[in-house]
Each structure stands twice: as C-alpha cells, then as structure tokens.
Structure 1
Amino acid sequence: MPEIFINYRTGDGEQAAATLDNALRARFGDGHVYRASRSIAPGDAFDHDLVNNVRRSSVLLALIGDHWLDKPTLGHDDDWVTKEILEAFRHDIRIIPVLIGRRTERPAKRDLPDALLWLTDCQTLRYDHQTDERDLKHIGDQLADLVPALADADRTTTEPEAPAATDNSTGDLKNSYATQTGPVTGSTFHIGPAESRHSNHTVHQTGTGSNYVAGDSHGGIRQGFGATPPAEGGE
C-alpha cells in the first residue's frame, strides 16, 4: 500500500518529486510511495487511480515551489493538485506541505482560494537541492516517526554491531604475570622473554585457538578454552 502520496504540479515541482520518490522508495520500498507519472500503468484510468491511491495513503506530501501559486486553476474542480489535496483532507489523511528551495515561503492566506485556506496552518518541511542529502534524510526520519508502517519498512535501521574480538599483547615482562579476561578469538596473547636464571619451564597448550608463553613458569602453565577436540579418527 502506498503510505506516501507525492502531490506536485507539473512545471513547478516535478524534479523535486522525482528526487523524493527515488529517495523514499530506496528507504521504505517501492510499494510504499506513489507518484503519478511513475505509478500509473499505461492504459489505467488515471482519475480513478489517483483518487483511489490518495484515499489509501497515510500521508500526502504537497510539494510547493516558486510557481505553485501561479496556476490560475488553483482551487478549481478541474485542477488535479487541488483535487488530490482536498481528497486527502476529506479523508483525514495527514497533509505535509514541502517547500521547494531555500526562498519558497509558506503560501499566505490572501493568496489561497477559500477551499485551501487551512493549508497555511499545516506545519511544513523543506527540500532544497543544495542540501538534498540532509533534507531527504530529515523528511524520511519525520515520515518514519509519523507512520508505523514506514518505521517497520525503514531500511536504514541496522542491528547493533557485535563487540570486537579481544586482541591483547604485552611487552617484555620480568618476574611478572599477565592476565586476560573477556571473549577471545583466534590467537590469544604473547609474553615476551623473561630474564631469569631459571630455564626449567613447561608449556601445556590445548583448545581451538593458539597460545604462546615463554619465561619463568614454576609448576607449569595450563590454559584451556573452547570445546575439547575429538580424539584422532573421531567424527
């Protein structure tokens, strides 16, 4: 279902509409965004398709550029930009004016037909091509916050990264001990040569990783980790 309906006027906001369409589909999926010039299949009755998809949407983005008010048919029954906005309004669908460019201002009530006067009270968003990456992210974030279905479909949501494996190393130690706790993968740690008159030591190594210890080790060194490997010939 197209949760987002992009409403725009040809000759005023079609380029911004295409950019928003591509960015929002990349984030939420093709099925969640409707833009007439892409979404209406050849041979379909466009009037029925437009009205039906406005009613099915959760939010209508009304793109307003510098020349949006210049259309003499604004507010008339045969103006499709007006029809789509009023259809969304009658069905209690959220309408968000999106101001295109840095200089576009919210339409003043004195410039709007009576049927659209309420549009000046709607909180707006802004899209400018010079800050498109930031603006597109902000618009997408706002939509994800407002529409649960879009939050569920949001492809920018990522799982937290697993903690990195521990990789420690020590320098030369003299008559000292080295201890490590925490998850260990691969080889563990290496203790450099210990300066000692005693050369008797024992190294006992087991487990699925590798370990090297050198230096004075009275009584031997034992370390085990991981599962016990099967005996030779086992499966």
Structure 2
Amino acid sequence: MSRVFINYRTGDEEASATLIDRELSHRFGSEEVFRASKSIRPGDDFEQELLRAVRRSDLLLAVIGPGWSDATGRRGGRALDDPDDWTRREIAEAFAYGVRVIPVLVNNRQRLPKGDLPDDVARLENCQYLRLSHRNADADIERLVQKVAEAVPRLADRGTEAVSGRPASAAGGTTRNSVRDLHGSSRQGGDIIDHRSGGTGDVGNNYGTVIGTAGGPLHTGSGTQVNGPQFNGSGGQYVAGDNHGDVHQGAPQRTERRAPRRRGEGGT
C-alpha cells in the first residue's frame, strides 16, 4: 500500500511531481509513493487503481503550478469545473476518505484564492501548503521530506534517513530480499558489520570469515606457506630491505677433533 499519493495536472509541473516522487522514493522506498505514470501497470484499470490508491493513502500531495487552476478541460472550459477532471476527482476522493491533503505550490504560484474551487475540493483553499522553488530546490525538498515523515509517522519508523538525507539501505536497516526453498535461518551479507583491527575470525554465529588488516601474505588453505626465498643446507644468507654496512658471509668454521692421547705415548 502506497502511503503518499502524488496528485498533479498533466501540462502543469509534471517535472516537479517526478522530482518529488524520486526524492520520496529514495528516502522511503518506491512502493511507498504512488504516481500514476509510474505505479499503474499497463493493462490495469486506471480508474480503479487511481481511486483505490487515494483511499489507501495516508497523505496526498497536490502539486500546483501556474497553470493548474486555468487549464482547459477535454470538453472545453476550465478543467476544474468538469466533475470528471481526474486532478479534481483524486483530491475530492482524498477529502471524502479523510486523507490528509497538502498543496505543494511550485515556484511563484500563489495560494488558491477563496471561492475559486468547486465545492467538493473547496477545502483545498484552506490547507496549509508547502513550497517548492527550483531556485531553492535542495532546501525545499528536504523540508518537504521532513513534513511528509511528520505527517506519516509509519514512514519515519523505517529509520532516521528521512531527516538525515540517507537512503533507507544506508541506515543500517535490514535489506529486503527474497529467498526460496530455504530450511533454517538466512542473513543478508549487508546486514552484518564486524570491525576487527587485525587477524581473522568468524562473523557473528559462523556466518562467514572476516579478514582484518593482515600485515603480510595470508594463507587460508592447507599445506605449507613459504614467504620469500627458501634455503636448504648450509652457507645460505638472505638479506631483505636496506643494508647500511658490511655483510660478512662465510662457511661455518670446522673444528677438528683429535682422539685423546694414551698414557706413555709421546708427542710434540
């Protein structure tokens, strides 16, 4: 169920509606944000999908630009005066089902004048609005995200990313995934964080091996590991690194051992 419904008029600030959708989806997840051209699948009954999405939402954002009020309808005349105008119908449905409605005024759009709207959407004139200026887009989008999180606390429950500017996956939460035919427990690799200053060890309950800061070659298999040259026998010398001074190398001195003299034997 999408918690935020983005309402906009074709021909009036579709780009702003797309920007809002992108930012909210980045913070809360795409499935939490409904925008008709994104959320309705080809072949679906768009009328049923639109009205169902409005009724199930917690919040409707009405994106209102300079051409929103005076746009011409399919039958001629002002679109807002046509009961079948979808922008009007979505807002009216939200009011009828108790869904909070927040107007988002884009750029230099002024707030809606009193008495200008049909009765079923007239409450929109009194709704406190947010503003989105393309010259101040970063700050305005951040404020909009915060206000959406305040209006829909269940979105904020997904983590602090709504106010910190971090995407949901970066906040240390559980990564969504699907595992089939699994017997036993499953852990997502991205959910396991283990910091070690050195050495090797297991990551929480034997979910794998972590290698810290190894100071040299590391052997993880079986058998003998030899780092550097290997010398067998005598007389070998290996010098690594810088050498300042002399290196003396010689064969080991051999001491001759004599048999002890017997009593009575002479010698020189």
Cα distance between partner residues in 2 of 1:75 and 1:53: 23
The corresponding residue for 2:157 is: 152
Displacement of 1:114: 2.7
1:42-83 deviations in Å (ceiling 9; x for gaps): 111100000000011000000110000112120422100000
The corresponding residue for 1:132 is: 137
Contact 1:4 1:58 in 2 (8 A): yes
Deviates more, 1:107-116 or 1:119-128: 107-116
Provide the TM-score with structure 1 as the length reference.
Answer: 0.65
Cα distance between partner residues in 2 of 1:97 and 1:68: 12
Displacement of 1:28: 0.6
Displacement of 1:118: 1.6
The corresponding residue for 1:73 is: 79
The corresponding residue for 1:29 is: 29
1:72-112 deviations in Å (ceiling 9; x for gaps): 120422100000000000000000000011x1111102322
Provide the identity percentage.
44
The corresponding residue for 2:98 is: 92
The corresponding residue for 2:60 is: 60
The one-letter code sitting in structure 1 at the alignment partner of 2:112 is P
Structure 2: where are the runs of 5+ without partners? 72-77, 172-196, 198-268
Cα distance between partner residues in 2 of 1:49 and 1:75: 23
Contact 1:5 1:34 in 2 (8 A): yes
Cα distance between partner residues in 2 of 1:140 and 1:2: 15
SS in 2 for 1:6: strand
Q: Please give the root-mean-square deviation of Cα atoms over the aligned residues, in Å.
A: 2.0
Contact 2:95 2:121 in 1 (8 A): no
Displacement of 1:153: 2.4
Aligned residues: 161
Cα distance between partner residues in 1 of 2:143 and 2:81: 30
Provide the TM-score with structure 2 as the length reference.
Answer: 0.57
* 1:109 is aligned to 2:114: yes
The corresponding residue for 1:5 is: 5
* 1:50 is aligned to 2:50: yes
